[in-house]
Chain A
Amino acid sequence: MTGIWDWGYAVEVLPALLRGLQVTVLATLLGSVLAFALGLVLAIVLRARVPVLHRVVRAFVEFWRSTPLLVQAYVIYQVLPDVGITLGSLAAGVIALGLHYACYTSEVYRAGIEAVPVGQWEAAAALSLPRSRVWFGVILPQAVPRVLPALGNYVISMFKEVPLLLAIGLVEVVTVARQLSADSFRPVEPLTLAGLLFLLVSLPASILVRRMERRAGAG
């Protein structure tokens, strides 16, 4: 069979592509966890105006947001070993994604925190609640649900950026597709399937986020 699309070959390469997709999803999820946690810390430091520290954080966020993810991934993977920190592709990739997206999620959290009425801060102060309780008992439980859809959108765009990490040797789905194409001289099936797999994950995810948006808007 010599048409432009060979079903037999497509079926043959699918398992390898699916394994690649697993890595892509794993990198996305771990990167998201890091981005959500670190972004929250950055947002709190900025809002609480911790002396000195908040200037450092602001400078870091500006700098990190203005440089490409690819360069950051290279630095983490190839330059850090010079100072004695050697990371595998996945670990370096997750850290690169997490740091990069933390700069965006911190802005998302900031918007959510600012949307909490000032009266909530005042009521918490009037009850003498300790600072940690003001954040984790009063402000964040109101701020975070509102911004979940925005955070979800960043997860999806992070998912689509994982293939960049092939530059640091992460064997994710696009890397697998490229290798298969190179080995067989048949790029159509592996690359098409890789694209479809992305679609298969990000489309339902987008629908889910839109549904969350509607619910957040209604609530």
Chain B
Amino acid sequence: MPVEPMVVLDGVHKRYGDTAVLSGLDLRVERGEHVTLIGPSGSGKTTILRLLMGLEAVDAGTIHVGGRCLTHMRRRGAVVPADEKHARAVRRTIGMVFQQFNLFPNMTVLGNLIEAPVRVLGMSEAEATRRAAELLELVGLTDKTHERPTRLSGGQQQRVAIARALAMRPEVLLLDEVTSALDPELVAGVLRLLRLIGESSDITILCVTHEIGFARDFADRVLMFDGGSIVEDGPPERLLVEPRVPRTKEFLAAVLEGR
């Protein structure tokens, strides 16, 4: 029996008002694969992450994560749209890091890291604190354990946010333009951390980014989005160097010119 893909989107439609953001999108991501989503803004790439995280609901189509259906559930033999509780259970295997970090300012760095493991996974506070210490060491912020997030730089906040997502031991990690809100000199530290995580774990990673250089050496596969569908799909060393689709060529030229 072949191994089931980690993430499967089947015919996913999503519209905001009159604007169709995704129209019948199909996507398969294998276990442990690192996929980078590129494309102009409004092309639907962030929407995919938000649908996977359950921050938005699909209009049509299905999403499976780890073999379990995120969008629908069985109730008395019938397939019905998933309710909050069902979605929350499936989402537990997914972590997300946001462009704006979104750390909880009313908690310390440690508080941010142990909140979900204690409240959601039922870990003891001692165990969660021990794991948090490991993660803070990984992201190089042990000395900030008891600080408030608002007292950290953007880069430090983002590294805490990455640690917070990892604290839930997700099988899938979603990275939504995690360096876009950072000052240029802070970007490298965050990208270095992500490379380290990518190399040292078997987490499946979906990453929306404008950092083409990072996409090239981080990803196993790059998806080029335009107008709500995938216009090109291939390994980074091919797609980013010799794009076959004119739209990809234009986009890459525009991005490289912008720097």
Q: Report B83-100 CB contacts with A as 1/0, cut-off 8 Å.
A: 010001101101110101
- Complex contacts, A130 vs chain B, CB 8 Å: 119-120
Known: A133-B119, A137-B119. A126 touches B95 (CB 8 A): yes
Minimum C-beta distance from B71 to chain A (A): 16
- Selected contact of A127 from candidates B100, B105, B168, CB within 8 Å: B168
Q: Does A125 reach chain B (CB closer than 8 Å)?
A: yes
- A contact residues around B119 at 8 Å (CB): 129-130, 133, 137
A-chain residues with CB within 8 Å of residue B84 when the two chains form the complex: 131
Docked-complex contact B98 and A142, CB < 8 angstroms: no
Instruction: Report if A138 contacts B (CB, 8 A).
Output: yes
List residues 113-166 of chain B with CB under 8 A from any CB of chain A: 115-116, 119-120, 164-165
B251 at the interface (CB under 8 A from A): no
**Are the C-beta atoms of B115 and A125 separated by less than 8 Å?**
no
Are A122 and B102 within 8 A (Cβ)? Answer: yes
Instruction: Determine if B214 is an interface residue (Cβ-Cβ < 8 Å).
Output: no
Looking at the assembled complex, report how far the CB atom of A30 sits from the nearest CB atom of chain B, in whole angstroms: 29
Asked, given contacts A128-B116, A137-B115, A137-B119, whether A123 binds B91 with beta carbons under 8 Å apart, the answer is no
Chain B residue total in the interface (Cβ 8 A): 25
A142: which B residues are within 8 A, CB to CB? Answer: 104-106
CA distance in complex: A125, B84 (Å): 10
Q: How far is the CA of A118 from the CA of B37 in the complex (A)?
A: 24
**B102 neighbours in A (Cβ, 8 Å):** 117, 119-120, 122-123
Chain A residues with CB under 8 Å of B7's CB are none
Q: Do A120 and B104 touch across chains, with their CB atoms under 8 A apart?
A: yes
Q: A119-B98, A122-B98, A123-B98 are in contact. Are A128 and B120 (CB under 8 A)?
A: yes
Q: Are A128 and B91 in contact, with the CB atoms below 8 A?
A: yes
The answer to whether A122 touches B105 (Cβ under 8 A) is no
Contact A128 B103 (CB under 8 A): no
Residue B48, interface by CB 8 Å: no
Q: Which residues of chain A are within 8 angstroms of B54 by Cβ–Cβ distance?
A: 125
Interface check A169, CB cutoff 8 A: no
Residues on B with beta carbons closer than 8 Å to the beta carbon of A129: 115-116, 119-120
Whether A125 lies near B53 (C-beta < 8 A) is yes
B1 within 8 Å of A (CB atoms): no
* Contact partners of A122 in chain B: CB under 8 A: 53, 55, 98, 102
Interface contact A123-B55, CB-CB below 8 Å: no
Bound-complex Cα distance A137 to B103 (A): 13
> Which residue in chain A gives the minimum CB-CB distance to B100?
A119
CA distance A119 to B100 in the complex (A): 8
CA distance A86 to B186 in the complex (A): 67
Tell me the bound Cα distance from A130 to B89 in angstroms. Answer: 11
Distance A44 CA – B252 CA, assembled complex (angstroms)? 47
Would you call A88 an interface residue if the criterion is a C-beta within 8 Å of the partner chain's C-beta atoms? no
A205 shortest CB reach to chain B, Å: 27
Could you tell me the distance between the alpha carbons of A123 and B168 in the complex, rounded to whole angstroms?
A: 13
B88 near A123: Cβ-Cβ < 8 Å: no
* Complex interface bits, A112-154 against B, C-beta within 8 A gives 1, otherwise 0: 0000010110111111111101000110011000000000000
Q: Which residue of A lies closest to B168 (CB)?
A: A127
Chain A residues, CB < 8 A from B106: 138, 141-142
Pairwise interchain contact B98-A127, C-beta atoms closer than 8 A: no
B91: chain A residues at CB < 8 Å are 125-126, 128
A123 touches B103 (CB 8 A): yes
For window 5-52 of B, CB contacts with A under 8 Å fall at none
How far is A138 from B106 in the complex, measured between Cα atoms in Å? 7
Indicate if the CB atoms of B120 and A126 lie closer than 8 Å: no
Determine the distance from Cα of A120 to Cα of B100 in the docked complex, in whole angstroms: 10
Give the CA-CA distance A123 to B160 in the complex, in Å.
13
Interface residues of A (CB under 8 A from B): 117, 119-120, 122-131, 133, 137-138, 141-142
**11 A-B contacts, Cβ less than 8 Å apart?**
A117-B102, A126-B53, A126-B165, A127-B95, A128-B88, A128-B89, A128-B91, A128-B120, A128-B168, A130-B119, A133-B119
Extra A-B contacts (9), CB below 8 Å, given A122-B55, A129-B116, A133-B115: A119-B98, A123-B104, A125-B54, A126-B94, A127-B95, A127-B164, A128-B88, A128-B120, A142-B104
3 closest A-B pairs by CB: A123-B102, A127-B116, A119-B102
